[in-house]
Amino acid sequence: MPSTAGSGPPSRTRVGVFISGRGSNLRALIEASAAPHYPAEIVLVVSNRGDAAGLEWARRAGIPAVVIAESDRGRFAAAAEQALREHAVGLVALAGFMRILDTGFVDGWRDRLLNIHPSLLPAFPGLHPQRQALAAGVRFAGCTVHFVRPEMDSGPIIAQAVVPVHDGDDEERLSARILSAEHRLYPLALRLVAEGRLRIDGSRVVVAGGEAPAGILLNPREALVGTDS
């Protein structure tokens, strides 16, 4: 018997995840949403590539997946809209989705469309942000989950994770360190959105009951030699 208002578990936000490749962030979101009190569920996966390895995570979890191998932006958007409607999706999460979306689609999903990017935005938008970070010589890198606006890799920032850059890093090592941070960050950000705890105030996102970490991170660390401790 269907549950009635006031009884049964509260309804969860229905999420569609767009991918183009490996799908490790999709996997992290699927795993997070398996927890009984997680406020969102992944109900649809959309890929623009039939050979995206990440489709396997959807299959294993029994989540419907559609491939929309359509290079025309407008036609991709129309097909995606139809799939999202059919699955009553309320929120879209881009996770390694490598196509630029139609502006009408982005506007239509304003504040209900998230993206993850492997840099501390607004630094290093676009392709190969980890390579850009190494070339710039930054001591900290990281990842960002943000609401999507039509300009690439822009929009109000929901959450960020910081990782150190080590002197011996190459692109592969730094990318792997950032990727593990992504797998923690995206489920956290999606949770905040699904719980309705965010208020967008211009370009800033205010988190109700949000707590910022304390302290200062230095890289390199202060040397312990020569101190009294």
Q: Which of 138, 179, 181, 207 binds ligand GRF (CB under 6 A)?
A: 179
Q: Which of 15, 16, 18, 24 binds ligand GRF (CB under 6 A)?
A: 24
Binding of ligand GRF at residue 23 (CB under 6 A)? yes
Residue 128 appears among annotated catalytic residues: no
* Closest among 212, 224, 196, 182 to 28, alpha carbons compared: 182
Q: Which of 14, 22, 99, 177 binds ligand GRF (CB under 6 A)?
A: 22
Exactly one of 37, 87, 117, 146 is catalytic; name it: 117
Q: Which 101-120 residues touch ligand GRF, going by CB under 6 A?
A: 116-118
What would the two tokens of residue 207 be? 């988190």
* Closest among 50, 38, 45 to 13, alpha carbons compared: 38
Name the helix (H) or strand (E) containing 41. Answer: strand 40-47
Binding of ligand GRF at residue 138 (CB under 6 A)? no
Please provide the DSSP assignment of 64-107 as one string: -EEE----SHHHHHHHHHHHHHHTT--EEEESS--SPPPHHHHH
Count of residues near ligand GRF by CB under 6 A: 14
Q: Which residue is nearest to ligand GRF (CB)?
A: 96
Q: Mind telling me the catalytic residues?
A: 117
